[in-house]
Amino acid sequence: MYLEIVSPEVTLFRGEVMSLSVPGINGDFEMLNNHAPIVSLLKKGTVRIIGDITLENAVKHKFTPTDKGVNLAINSGTIEMKDNKLIVLAD
């Protein structure tokens, strides 16, 4: 599935991922390919991206590498999933 993470300052990531876990306001949840459409608010926590992730040098410092992908700390945000495209608006 295609993921785009946008902050007020810059687009942090664009690309294909295997899965995404986010801190929803009612608890963490994960999305995989062909997930049902969803719109949700996000709370302070960690966005976990699984896949072969390539980050631009200008934003690498915002991410923490893991053995399966990368993590991104956020304060709040919104997520939308539709037709295998995820958009995260993160603060």
Candidates 49, 43, 48, 29; CA nearest to 91 is: 43
Beta bridge partners of residue 20, listed in sequence order: 31, 49
For 51, the token pair is 């896949």
Assign residue 81 a region: left if phi > 0, alpha if psi is -120 to 50, beta otherwise?
A: beta
Beta bridge partners of residue 90, listed in sequence order: 77
Could you tell me the residue range of the domain that residue 79 belongs to?
2-90
Q: What is the pLDDT of residue 79?
A: 98
Q: Please give the model's pTM, rounded to 2 decimal places.
A: 0.94
State which residues of the chain have pLDDT below 70: none
**Number of domains present in the structure of the chain:** 1
The CATH code of the domain that includes 62 is 2.60.15.10
Q: CB count, 10 Å around CB of 64?
A: 11
